[in-house]
Amino acid sequence: MKNILVPTNFSKNCTKAAHLAIKMAKLYNAEIHFLHLITTPVDWVKLDKLKEKRYPETLKQIGSAKADLRELEKKAERQGLVSRTFLEFNAGHADILKHSGHFHHDFIVTGSSGTKGGVRELFGSNVEKIIRKSDDPVIVVKEEEVTFPFKDIVFVSDFSEDVSKAFEHVISIAEKCGAHIHLLRINTETDFNSIELGLNPIKEFLKKFPQLNTHSMNVYNEPSVETGINNFLAYKNADLIAMCTRGSTGFLSLFSKSIAEGVANHSALPVMTINIKK
């Protein structure tokens, strides 16, 4: 992890995401960039200073955004980090991802209204689309207070596909934090079986990671994936939920679109998604 991007609208959860990103950047000695999108009534970059004065409310919003970005930058710099800020006008998720690609970010951390609304509320539909289309891991912060360094990470998969590359990101964070990884498979009504049979795919998967010691294997028979995750979290402490996505087609076979949105929207814990390349 060398360069972290933090898209923010300065909401409470986005601010928590920014503070998490600063701590992660400190741990990895990574550069950190803060990005804010602002909607203007006209093409702002084409206005001269005289014409800008015709839009006093927009000028006020821009001034406030610049001040908030600078405050985040100063917090990062006080931790000895290299930090930059960016203010983009009338941009969307494609611009965020283009920005990320241009600066070679390898991690994105942002916030969402989560259980009080949909993941769409942050930048319209931008967070959902970033999750779907980002080539880099994304952490979305919600209502729950963030514990960092993470101590317990839940990695959810049906382990029917090769998710080794994604899991390497989880291992990297776990090793840096000294965290325990809980591998979780949810058997739904369509594939109920014995717990032992459910463990077999996890055991097979772990053969690729013989060095991994601080982990547990867990199988739940539940009516839905989201219910299974919630029931697991009712008995196990966790600081982060990690899942895999499959590009524009959405989450892997374990997760239908509605399930993915349910986990991303309704979990109060931070959720990390990792895109599996085709």
Are both 132 and 161 inside the same structural domain?
Answer: no
Tokens matching residue 63: 């001034």
For 20-87, the three-class secondary structure string (H helix, E strand, C coil) is HHHHHHHHHCCEEEEEEEECCCCCHHHCCHHHHCCCHHHHHHHHHHHHHHHHHHHHHHHCCCCEEEEE
**Contact status, residue 121 vs residue 140, Cβ threshold 8 Å:** no
Tell me: do 125 and 182 sit in the same domain: no
Distance CA 133, CA 123 (A): 15
Q: Which of 102, 122, 141 is the last residue of a domain?
A: 141
241 near 271, Cβ under 8 Å?
yes
Say yes or no: 23 and 58 in one domain.
Answer: yes
In the chain, the number of structural domains is: 2
Helix, strand, coil % in the chain, rounded to nearest 5? 45, 20, 35
Say what the pLDDT of residue 113 is.
66
Same domain? 116 vs 157: no
One domain for residues 136 and 159: no
Residue 87: CATH number of its domain: 3.40.50.620
In a domain, 114, yes or no: yes
User: Is residue 94 located within the same domain as residue 182?
Assistant: no
Global pTM? Answer: 0.87
The answer to whether residue 159 is domain-embedded is yes
In this structure, the answer to whether residues 158 and 134 fall within a common structural domain is: no
127-170 residue pLDDT tens: 777 887 888 999 989 888 899 999 999 999 888 888 899 899 99
Between the alpha carbon of residue 60 and those of residues 40, 89, 90, 164, 227, the distances in Å are 11, 14, 16, 48, 45
Residue closest to 183 by CA, chosen among 163, 211, 154: 154
pLDDT tens for 196-245 read 778 889 999 999 999 998 899 999 888 777 888 888 988 888 999 998 87
Q: Which of 92, 120, 141 is the last residue of a domain?
A: 141
CB-based contact 182:216 (threshold 8 Å): yes
- Using 50, 70 and 90 to split pLDDT, how confident is the model at 90? confident
Q: Is 147 contained in some domain?
A: no
Task: List the domain range (segments joined by +) for residue 25.
Answer: 3-141
**Per-residue model confidence as pLDDT tens digits over 91-135:** 777 888 888 888 999 999 998 865 444 433 444 456 777 887 888
**Residue of 33, 45, 43 whose CA lies nearest to 3:** 33
The distance from CA 149 to its chain's CA centroid, rounded to whole angstroms, is 16
Residues 227 and 124 in one domain: no
191 and 90 in a single domain? The answer is: no
Region 68-87: what's the mean pLDDT?
96
